[in-house]
Chain A
Amino acid sequence: MTDVVAPEQAPEAVAPVTAVAGGTTGPQRRLPMPTFARLLLRNPKSAVGIGLIGAIVLVTILAPLLTNDKPTEANALPGLAPSRDYPFGTTDQGYNVYTQVLYGGRISLLVAASAALIALAISVTLGLLAAYRGGIVDDLINLLTNVFLVIPVLPLLIVISSFLTQTGPVTMALIIGLTSWAIETRILRGQALSLRNQDFILAAKVAGESTRRIVFGELMPNMLSRIAAGFAFVFVQAVFYEAALEFLGFGDANKVSWGTILFWATNNSTLLQGEWWHFVFPGCAISLTILAIIFINYGIDELSNPRLRGTKRRARRSLLSGMLWPRSAAT
Chain B
Amino acid sequence: MRFILRRLTFYGIALWAAITLNFVLPRLMPGSPLDGLLLRYQDVIRSNPAILTQLKAQLGAADEPIWRAYPHYLGDVFTGNLGISTAQGVPVSEVIGNTLPWSIFLVGTGFLLSFVVGTTLGMFAAWRRGGFTDNAITPLLMALQSFPAFFLSLLAVYFLGLKAGWFPIQHAYANDTEVGLSRHFLADAFRHAQLPILVIVAISAGGWLLGMRNVMINTISEDYITMAQAKGLRDRRVMTRYAARNAILPPLTGFAAFFASAVGGLILVEVVFSYPGVGLTIQQAALGHDYPLVQALLLLLAVTVLVANLIMDLVYAVLDPRVRTAS
A residues with CB within 8 A of B: 1-2, 4-7, 143, 146-147, 149-156, 158-165, 183, 240, 243-244, 247-250, 262, 266, 271-272, 274, 276, 279-280, 283, 286-288, 290-291, 294, 307-308, 310, 314, 317-318, 320-326, 328-331
Contacts and interface: CB of A to CB of B under 8 A. Distances in A.
Contact of B151 (A151, A286, A325): A286
A66 B282 CA distance: 40
Contacts of B143: 291, 320, 323
B154 A279 contact: yes
Contact of B148 (A160, A244, A272): A244
Given A158-B283, A320-B139, A308 B129 contact: no
A183 B250 contact: no
Interface string B116-131: 0000000000000110
A70 B174 CA distance: 43
Given A4-B219, A159-B286, 15 more contacts: A2-B322, A7-B214, A163-B25, A164-B30, A244-B150, A279-B154, A283-B148, A283-B151, A314-B130, A321-B138, A322-B139, A324-B138, A325-B145, A330-B149, A331-B145
27 contacts: A1-B219, A7-B214, A143-B13, A146-B14, A147-B18, A149-B256, A151-B260, A155-B264, A155-B267, A158-B267, A158-B298, A159-B282, A159-B294, A161-B286, A165-B30, A243-B148, A244-B148, A244-B150, A249-B287, A283-B151, A321-B135, A323-B142, A324-B210, A329-B261, A330-B147, A330-B149, A331-B258
A329 B256 CA distance: 13
Contacts of B25: 159-160, 163
Interface residues of B, number: 80
Contact of A266 (B146, B149, B154): B154
A150 B305 contact: yes
| Chain A CB within 10 Å, residue with most, of B26, B214, B302, B322 | B214
B250 A6 contact: yes
Q: Which 10 residue pairs across A and B have the least CB separation, nearest first? A: A154-B264, A323-B142, A162-B286, A283-B151, A328-B207, A320-B139, A152-B263, A291-B146, A290-B146, A163-B29
B257 interface: yes
Nearest to B130: A314
Contact of A294 (B146, B158, B203, B305): B146
Nearest to A328: B207
B267 A248 contact: yes
A247 B217 contact: no
Nearest to A298: B142
B119 to A, nearest CB: 14
Given A321-B139, A323-B146, A324-B139, A154 B263 contact: yes
B17 interface: yes
A2 B31 CA distance: 51
Contact of B256 (A150, A154, A288, A291): A150
Contact of A331 (B149, B155, B210, B221): B149
A296 to B, nearest CB: 12
B53 interface: no
A264 to B, nearest CB: 13
